[in-house]
Amino acid sequence: MRKLKNLKCKWELSLVAFLMLEIVLFGLLNPRFLKVRVLLNSANDFVTVAIIALFMTLVIITGGIDISMGSVVGLTSVVMGLLWQELGMNIWAAVTCALIVGGICGAINGFLVAYVGVQAMVATLGTSFLYAGVSLVIIGFSGISAAEGITGFPDAFRAIGHGYIMGIPSSLILFGTLIVIAYVILHNTTFGRRVYLTGVNRQAAEFSGIKTKIIILSTHMLVGIGAAVSGMYITSYLSSSRADHGATLTLSVITAVVLGGTAITGGEGSIVGTALASVIIGLMTLGLQMAGLPTQFVGIGIGLLLVISVSIKSFLSGNNILAELKKKLRAE
């Protein structure tokens, strides 16, 4: 356990070093990148990913995965917009309903995985198409163009994505608040310890009295709520409610979690690591754009980060070909 903690600490320090290197490198390519205001506002490039990634960390620690979160972002955005515009509901009541819808979507995913026994990737792939289809259907029934979406949100709601509090962007405050919440849930509660135990050995956790099905269901619900918060933020920031808002988030979210040090096989991970990785991805996106590179290079960069981080984690943990060869040679 102590060796695992040391490895986690070293990984997080490596992420900090990489983040500093990234800032210096992109600063050399474009001096505007080093301006404090630019760096503060860069939160808009990663907060939608980070919000989901923080809670996705819990799901992956249990040994699962959720690839439907992008569709949940779009669905909750549409639900919120329709309730506000078509039914005349107060915008904050509509936001609350959207959060509930997100939690229900997560609960459906968790139920399929934990109680029905469907493999997590298969279950959430299916529900991803389901939620995306539902969002298109309900916005179609309302007579609103899916391409144009719903606009005209009140200024108080738009302040979530564009406001400042004491000179600090509201996006950073939202990000910081959710880091604290996720950190406390995972690292300072009995529930968090049970999440780790479920990921390390689910059968042993059940023998020790932990209701692993409820743990898995709960983590998926948290991701659903996180996706709904992300949907609320992106709707506020873009001042538009659309079904395709979360269409490109899946790769970035999983990369942030894995790059942050969470083992894709479960049982290991941290909120601090995920938060640092989210910032790294966000600054990479901003830096590449400010360097004048086409947007498709952003996807290449994120993909490389995912492959490299998984490879390094696998090597450090000893789950690699060289380690297997060493074991066989020793056995002989």
Identify the residue with better confidence: 246 or 7.
Answer: 246
Q: Is the pLDDT of residue 165 over 50?
A: yes
- How many alpha carbons lie under 13 Å from residue 325 in its C-beta half-sphere? 3
Q: Average of pLDDT values for 38-64?
A: 89
Which residues contact residue 326 at a Cβ distance below 8 angstroms, ignoring those fewer than 6 apart? none
Gap between the Cα atoms of 141 and 298, Å rounded = 36
Gap between the Cα atoms of 155 and 157, Å rounded = 5
pLDDT, residue 7, reads 54
Q: Is the pLDDT of residue 317 over 70?
A: no
Sign, CA torsion 214/217/220/222:
negative
pLDDT, residue 329, reads 42
If one counts every other C-beta atom within 10 angstroms of the C-beta of residue 318, the result is 11
Share of the chain above pLDDT 90, in %: 47
Q: Is the pLDDT of residue 8 over 80?
A: no
**What is the number of residues in the chain?**
332
pLDDT, residue 46, reads 85
Identify the residue with better confidence: 2 or 325.
Answer: 2
Cα dist from 252 to 120, 130, 215, whole Å: 19, 21, 25
Tokens of 204: 């042993």
Domains of the chain: 2-298 (1.10.3470)
Q: Is the pLDDT of residue 324 over 50?
A: no
Tokens of 203: 């059968």
Identify the residue with better confidence: 42 or 133.
Answer: 133
Please report which helix (H) or strand (E) contains residue 266, including its range.
Answer: none
Q: Average of pLDDT values for 107-124?
A: 95
Please report which helix (H) or strand (E) contains residue 164, including its range.
Answer: strand 164-165
Tokens of 262: 């969470």
Cα dist from 29 to 34, 45, 290, 291, whole Å: 10, 19, 8, 6
pLDDT, residue 116, reads 94
Q: Is the pLDDT of residue 323 over 60?
A: no
pLDDT, residue 145, reads 72
Identify the residue with better confidence: 207 or 44.
Answer: 207
pLDDT, residue 104, reads 96
Which residues contact residue 24 at a Cβ distance below 8 angstroms, ignoring those fewer than 6 apart? none
pLDDT, residue 321, reads 45
Cα dist from 202 to 109, 114, 164, whole Å: 18, 11, 44
pLDDT, residue 251, reads 84
From 71-75, 116-120, 163-167, the region with the lowest mean pLDDT = 163-167
Gap between the Cα atoms of 17 and 285, Å rounded = 18
Identify the residue with better confidence: 319 or 296.
Answer: 296
pTM of the model: 0.88
Share of the chain above pLDDT 70, in %: 90
Gap between the Cα atoms of 105 and 76, Å rounded = 10
